[in-house]
Chain A
Amino acid sequence: MQFMLLFSRQGKLRLQKWYVPLSDKERKKISRDLVQTILARKPKMCSFLEWRDLKIVYKRYASLYFCCAVEDQDNELITLEIIHRYVELLDKYFGSVCELDIIFNFEKAYFILDEFLLGGEAQETSKKNVLKAIEQADLLQELWEPPQGWLSELSLPAST
């Protein structure tokens, strides 16, 4: 996968993850173009787009559009399922997720995404495992705070 964008129906970017090195200018141009193109499409239309030399796969969930760019030979349907699985993960983590959850906790949404996709490839497709990894880090966040030291060793098995 080359990049993933989340944007609202009003065209506001909610999350962007780039897996290929691109300059800031290019990123902005791409997201602007794509948001425009996708928002102009009608609901019953195909979820796939040929855009430049890329294949765009997008899907709308409530007020949010999830949009991924993959290479031409990649499987469009499985990309659609990657989006779906990510939504499921967000849903499970936030408890029936809505756009506001993602706006206010976008860094969490990034952490979940990083646990699910790594370097543009699906690294862990088991919902349980992704959430376990996130919860572990979150747990650490809470425990780590006041008394530093012994708790971290207890909660995290040290590597050998």
Chain B
Amino acid sequence: MSDVVEKTLSALPSLLSLDSQAGAGKLSPSSKLGNLIKGITELTSKHEEETLIKKELESIKEQVASPNTTMRQMKEIMVRAIYCEMLGYQASFSYIHAIKLAQQGSVLEKRVGYLAVSLFLNETDEFLLLLVNTVLKDLQSTNLIEVCMALTVVSQMFPKDMIPAILPVVEEKLTHPKEIIRRKAVLALYKFYLIAPNQVQHIHSKFRKALCDKDPGVMTASLHIYLQLIKENPESYKDLTGSMVTILRQVVGGKLPLDFNYHSVPAPWLQIQLLRILAYLGKEDQGTSEMMYDVLEESLRRAEMNHNITYAILFECVKTIYTVHPKSQLLEKAAECIGNFVLSPKINLKYLGLKALTYVVQQDANLALPHQMTIIECLDHSDVIIKRETLELLFRITNAQNVTVIVEKMLEFLRLTCDDYSTIDLVGKVAELTMNSVFSLGGDVMQPDIPNNFLRLLAEGVDNVEDRQLRLFAVDSYVSLLQGETAKLPQRFLQVISWVLGEYSYLREEESDPGSVMRLLARLLDQRHTSTETRSWVLGAMTKLCSSPVSVALARDVCERYLYSGSLNTVLRQKAQELMILSQDTKLRARVLPAEGRLESPEVDSSLSFLDGYVSDALAAGAAPYKSPHQRQEDLVQEKALSLEPYGLSLPVSLSSCSITDRRSPTLLSMSSGLSGNSTELSHQEGSTTLKLEGVKRVWGKDGYLAQQQSAGETPTPLVELPSPLLSPQSPPSQKPSSGLEPDQEKRQLASSLFVGLGSHNSVCLVRLPSTVWLFIKNCQSANQSNVVKSLFKPFYINSCQSKNHGSFVKVSGIFAARKSCQTDDSCCFPPQISCISGSPLKEVKGHSVSVCLHTVVMKRASVQVELAGLLSYQRPLGQPQAAQFSLSLSLKHFLRPLTVSTGDYGKMWLSFSHDLKQNLRLVTTEHQEPLTATLDALKGKLHLHVVDIIGSEGIVACRLLQGPGQGQPCLLHCRVHADSLAVWLRSPVPELPDSLLYHCQKALTET
């Protein structure tokens, strides 16, 4: 506290000097405020503060009422009044004086008067009417400051009905010579448009003029209006698309004055505004969307990943790309961008990544697949906001197969956060919706405890407004469900419906006739497909409901049918009997089922002590003592001497006894890599030749299984590797998965259950062939740089795993075609970007054996990403020739190799290359390394670059692109630390290489 006071005191002189010209003789006005503030700082209790402020307000009240108070003093008093209001004390007596100050004060007093008005009042206050004339006068003033103040207060708040009085004057300001006035006038009109759109309808043409204003500030201001107009009615403004695209292109291209830069990014606010407008214009409109693809791509490319502001632009850009008519190439880049967000260690970006994913999975649920593990991690995040966003995301990808797990997760979350009413409200609805839409799909296969949990959720909780709303919502939605076709609803869902209706129908009783729910339930009983169990739930619900005469009559009908038309089911008969008696006897019913007692849980004597007397009597009479079901079962077991213990999980193929060939069977592969929870199932089913692919999908990522694991921050599991000429067999095949992986396995299991049903066809690396042939394509990057043949090799593992017939073999021959992915838009006019230059033929593959064939792939044209597709044809001894297609995505970094040159050679090469590109990149910071070294090391590690030299704050780096036999084309990088980013200059003789490489550098650094 003391240093605060000290600082306060030291701040005082400067405060006094600020108003040093203020009148002499009287007490300095700010020292009064200063004293007040200082006084408050020194107080220790809330009570003392109250007393002090009360005193202060009394004194203010006295002063404002005094006729001798000058406007000058009034200004100072008003500041104190604002301060008291900010502390939460009412100073409403001063409002009228604030208006007076704005009316009568000189310019600087007016300024405070207007400020006080805008802080004290709001649009609906009648006091504001007193201000209209003042505003009008000030708008017409010859003093610029007065005009500005009037426009500011008008855009802040203005009585709606009074707009016509000042509209012509504000309109006039649109042609004012000063841009600051034009800008404020535009914003004032924007405000008018928001509160009274009809009143400004006639000046739309003037808005267009503002859009074309030579001052970028005025133009930016006009976009607020256009965003609103276009949002409401995109059709009428399609003609503006061209202009918007042009403006954005100019902004992105840095054509605006430097004043508009924000942290060296050109006018980010303007960019985002334009992107939002483009989203509205291009939505569901292919023609319009096509006009903006180029500029969207450019925005995406230009936004360097180094500052929050560029992330803001990227985020908006991604949103726009996913809103307008889709273009696959852009979508691909946007998806990648989302990936960067999701993987970012910065929590804000992670949140936005999840948010973006939530948005895009509605179009393509598969987009969530690459981020399974991250999503699982976010589900357990310590920040509740992240958790909630993750649940929202899961909610969007809910389908019949994963609903159980997702709903479970939601309920878990709900139980933890029951204090936060808004969370309950939101997620409760989410759960509710899920229940309704997916209960009906997957209801019967669901674990019984899920509906139970759901019912408990509904029943628990205090009887507050939110809970009531949730229950009423449930009742209403169920009633409308029952009114429709019920034959397809699962039994368990019908039971939930009956219970909810029985408990909570009273919530809607006021608005509908009491018999309607009863009739719906009775109809349910009449239907043939309703199971006995469900019927008893329905009867139970009816018992709770039969309070009105209509319901009693209905109940009697139902009961008579059950009791006299001879239903054989005792449970149903009993329920019907109960209903019969209780519906007739209101008093008894009120005792058994008290209406207000619904919420209290009944006390249950689980020890059944009230039966003690009966039991001892029975025992005395010679009855056998009670045995629990467990005991009975044990007795049974002993009698029959049969083991009912479930068989322990045993591996059908024992690891140690594996022969060389066996090691490469897919079974073992999946087991030793701990693929998923399905692995045991996989092995059990080996003999039956149908392997379950569900849930295993996508565990093999783009870069193979290992890479994905590393990205999740875990130790790599040993993979069964084939010794290839380039790969030292570093991982012993028989190594068992370490036990440390278990929690990870759990997560993966969760992942597979969460993401089940989201199939992906284009990037599955585990290709399933017809019959029993499996093809494993693994991406083996050459790590051994001393090898002469420095190329990218991709072994294809073709395993035949037929266990029934050992003698059979499969003939496999590979035909490889390289196809370029949709990376650039000139896909049709250029030759393929990669080609296979060599390959070994495949041999016959006998049962339980592996054949390896190696193909070398090189990149013909530099490109960020290419796709390798191929056809594998094979023939079984007695079968027809068959073929299987596969595809594999390769990125530029697979084709990059370090280029070892001397600094001198580097200099010579640098001068001779013509294609260059400059960009700023993010610097990597570590604890024990210089940022430059750390950054270059990161690039070296991820992209196989060679760091030629580091001198001071500069570094030179070289690499080459594999493009066929020989050395391959080089690319040189010159890096310099500039402020807190890395200025990179790339040069190469290959036109596309710098651009593509830069992209990967950006990506590599973002992931670090």
Contacts and interface: CB of A to CB of B under 8 A. Distances in A.
Interface of A: 12-19, 21-24, 28, 42, 44-52, 75-78, 80-81, 85, 98, 100-101, 103-107, 110-111, 114, 118-119, 121-126, 128-129, 133, 136-137, 140-142, 144-146, 148, 152, 156-160
Given A45-B383, A77-B348, A125-B260, 18 more contacts: A45-B347, A46-B347, A47-B348, A75-B316, A78-B268, A80-B308, A104-B30, A104-B37, A106-B83, A114-B156, A124-B180, A125-B270, A129-B217, A146-B21, A152-B143, A157-B178, A158-B143, A159-B147
A144 B441 CA distance: 76
B82 interface: yes
Interface string B57-89: 000000000000000000000010011001110
B217 A124 contact: yes
B467 to A, nearest CB: 17
Contacts of A106: 82-83, 86
Contacts of A52: 422
B34 interface: yes
Nearest to A82: B269
Contacts of A105: 15, 18
Given A46-B385, A76-B348, A140 B145 contact: yes
B254 to A, nearest CB: 15
Nearest to B423: A50
B267 interface: yes
B221 to A, nearest CB: 6
Contacts of B83: 106
A108 to B, nearest CB: 9
B272 interface: yes
Nearest to A137: B145
A128 B262 CA distance: 11
Contacts of B382: 42, 45
Contact of A13 (B86, B145, B347): B86
Interface of B: 7-8, 11, 15, 18, 21, 30, 33-34, 37, 79, 82-83, 86-88, 90, 106-108, 111-112, 115, 119, 122-124, 142-145, 147-148, 152, 155-157, 176-178, 180-181, 183-184, 187-188, 190-191, 217, 220-221, 224, 259-260, 262, 267-270, 272, 308-309, 311-312, 315-316, 347-348, 350-352, 382-383, 385-386, 388, 422, 426
A140 B107 contact: yes
Contacts of B143: 152, 156, 158
B362 to A, nearest CB: 15
A58 to B, nearest CB: 11
B269 A78 contact: yes
Nearest to A110: B115
Contacts of A46: 347-348, 350-351, 383, 385-386
Contacts of A104: 11, 15, 30, 33-34, 37
Contacts of B88: 13, 28
Nearest to B386: A46
Contacts of B311: 77
- The 10 A-B residue pairs whose C-beta atoms are closest, nearest first, are A77-B312, A119-B155, A21-B122, A126-B259, A141-B108, A78-B312, A21-B123, A158-B142, A45-B383, A118-B187
Contacts of A85: 262
A103 to B, nearest CB: 6
A103 B86 CA distance: 11
Contacts of A77: 308-309, 311-312, 315, 348, 352
B107 to A, nearest CB: 6
B122 A22 contact: yes
A144 B107 contact: yes
A156 B146 CA distance: 11
B83 to A, nearest CB: 7
A18 B86 CA distance: 12
B11 A101 contact: yes
Contacts of A158: 142-144
Nearest to B8: A100
B122 A133 contact: no
**Best-buried of A46, A85, A105, A128 by chain B (most CB within 10 Å):** A46
Contacts of A121: 187, 190, 221, 224
B184 A157 contact: no
Contacts of A13: 86-88
A107 B115 contact: yes
B272 A144 contact: no
Contacts of A23: 122
11 contacts: A13-B88, A22-B122, A46-B350, A46-B383, A46-B386, A81-B309, A104-B11, A126-B217, A140-B107, A141-B108, A148-B106
A141 B21 CA distance: 10
Nearest to B83: A106
Nearest to B148: A133
A84 B191 CA distance: 25
A45 B309 contact: no
A16 B385 contact: no
Nearest to A114: B152
A142 B11 CA distance: 21
Contact of A119 (B112, B187, B262): B187
B7 A100 contact: yes
Given A140-B107, A144-B108, A118 B152 contact: yes
Contacts of B351: 46, 48, 76
Contacts of B350: 46
A101 B267 CA distance: 29
Nearest to B34: A104
A157 B144 contact: yes
**Best-buried of A17, A18, A122, A157 by chain B (most CB within 10 Å):** A122
B238 to A, nearest CB: 21
A152 B143 CA distance: 8
B176 A159 contact: yes
A16 B88 CA distance: 11
**Best-buried of A51, A111, A119, A141 by chain B (most CB within 10 Å):** A119
A137 B142 contact: no
Nearest to A100: B11
B641 to A, nearest CB: 61
A160 B348 contact: no
Contact of A123 (B112, B221, B347): B221
Contact of B259 (A75, A128, A157): A128
A36 B904 CA distance: 63
B35 to A, nearest CB: 11
A75 to B, nearest CB: 6
A88 B489 CA distance: 60
A105 B118 CA distance: 17
Contacts of A80: 308, 312, 348
A122 B143 CA distance: 24
Contacts of A123: 183-184, 187, 217, 221
A124 B183 contact: yes
Given A119-B190, A121-B187, A156-B145, A21 B124 contact: yes
A25 B634 CA distance: 69
Contacts of A146: 21
Contacts of A14: 86
